[in-house]
Amino acid sequence: MNETRPASARLPSLSGLGFVAICMVLVSHVGISLVLRVDPTAQTLWSYDYKLGVMGFTFFFVLTGFALTWVHEADVDARRFLRRRFARVFPAHLITITAALLLAVGAGVALSVWRTVPTLLLVQNWIPDQEVVLTGNPNGPTWALSCALLFYAMFPWTNRLVRRIRPERLWMPALASVVLLITVPLLATLLPAEPLLVNTPDSWLQTWFVGYLPVTRMLEFLLGVFVARMVATRRWHGPGVIVSVLLSVAGLVASASMHGESSGFAVTAVPLALLIAAVARRESAGRRTFFGSRPMTVLGQISFCAYLVHWVVISYGPIHTADPANWTRPLSLGGALGKSALTIVAVLLLGWLLSVLVERPALRLLGGRRKAEPLAEPVVVPLGDPRPGAGAP
């Protein structure tokens, strides 16, 4: 197996990195809900804010692949692994989606069985209908979990196959995953240009193929898997933390300059993989990191639940985007900052409550006993236009 790290080596920084990713998503979603209300001409700021969230999405997909590979040994019991994934995801998801449906009914939002049931079952991404994936989704960001179910289903076997690759050759499948990330948007152009993604000039089917189809989203996850094995077998020779952070910022700038809802995944996935590897290598060598500090790891433990509730809070809380008028109603800078602060506090508080009252008890009850592992569930921002009519947060 050519394993060189101690089998018990744990990386608390993975949880801290998870919290950074949810902050990127949360700040992005709050920002895109308010920026144009303060200044309707701030399109550039809106674009950067939006792509920050898309980058947070990629961050969590790569991080999830890395974390699962680092934590689990070669022989993963598939049934036990999938039971724990179910226990971690579905109870909290069902509580959140129930709350979202009740709030939607109370607000007079039109609901549809066809558009709701796939979301309840987390299979919506396999249906190339934007009303199912986006516009009629009662809690839009849950489409990420639809992708995650494929990752989880494949991981026990993927993990075994990847560990058969000789350490000195791991760079080849890692590079191949990056090349495929670049190639997928080109393949998507073979799909019909119509219908259009709501409120955009982009093809919905092309966007779905690149940004929502679980098979194509798995490329970021696999990149994280390969990088984790390279770090674990001491075959990683990437840059340090500071350089990786700077490259990630450059990736965000490059992504924001690219047209299209599904553009820029590769230019952000690569530097984020470098960052995760740099942090992991530093911590596995016994050196402390900010991401592994106690406050960051505690916050990281609630990041998945905070993600689940965040759009519900944005929709029906202080910002109240469930009312279409609140996307364009003028707002002062002070008012926007106040609504932002209240929303973020509410998201973290409700995320903590959901984690303590639902996620952790469900994991103890349904998941079976296992040594502690970092929480690195995937978090995603939808790629569709989040303004009224798009239906995607």
Mean residue pLDDT across the chain: 88
**pLDDT for res 368:** 65
143-147's contacts with Cβ under 8 Å and 24+ in sequence apart are 143/119, 143/212, 143/380, 143/382, 144/57, 144/60, 144/378, 144/379, 144/380, 145/89, 145/93, 145/378, 146/122, 146/214, 147/61, 147/212, 147/214, 147/217, 147/218, 147/378, 147/380
The structural domains of the chain, with segments of one domain joined by +, span 13-308
pLDDT for 166-208, tens place per residue?
A: 999 999 999 999 999 999 999 999 999 999 988 788 899 999 9
Contact in structure between 149 and 214 (CB atoms under 8 Å): yes
Q: Which structure tokens are listed for 81? A: 């692994």
**pLDDT for res 370:** 52
Is pLDDT of 340 > 80? yes
Give me the mean pLDDT over the 142-169 stretch. Answer: 94
pLDDT for 348-389, tens place per residue?
A: 999 999 999 999 999 998 876 554 444 444 433 334 444 444
pLDDT for 125-135, tens place per residue?
A: 999 999 999 87
**pLDDT for res 198:** 85
pLDDT for 271-295, tens place per residue?
A: 999 999 999 999 988 898 999 999 9
**pLDDT for res 295:** 92
**pLDDT for res 259:** 76
Give me the mean pLDDT over the 34-50 stretch. Answer: 91
pLDDT for 11-23, tens place per residue?
A: 899 999 999 999 9
**pLDDT for res 328:** 87
Q: Is 0.85 surpassed by the pTM of this model? A: yes
Beta strand spans in the chain (E) = none
pLDDT for 73-113, tens place per residue?
A: 877 889 999 999 999 999 999 999 999 999 999 988 888 88
Q: How far is CA 26 from CA 5, 43, 91, 179, 312, in A?
A: 34, 19, 22, 30, 12
**pLDDT for res 155:** 96
**pLDDT for res 375:** 43
Is pLDDT of 227 > 70? yes
Is pLDDT of 237 > 60? yes
22-25's contacts with Cβ under 8 Å and 24+ in sequence apart are 22/56, 22/60, 22/303, 22/304, 22/306, 22/307, 22/310, 22/379, 23/56, 24/52, 24/53, 24/55, 24/56, 24/59, 25/53, 25/56, 25/57, 25/141, 25/307, 25/310, 25/379, 25/380, 25/381
Confidence band of 342 (pLDDT split at 50, 70, 90): very high
Confidence band of 4 (pLDDT split at 50, 70, 90): low
**pLDDT for res 171:** 95
Report the DSSP beta bridge partners of residue 196: 203
Give me the mean pLDDT over the 224-231 stretch. Answer: 96
Rounded to an integer, what distance in angstroms lies between the CA atom of residue 251 and that of residue 245?
10
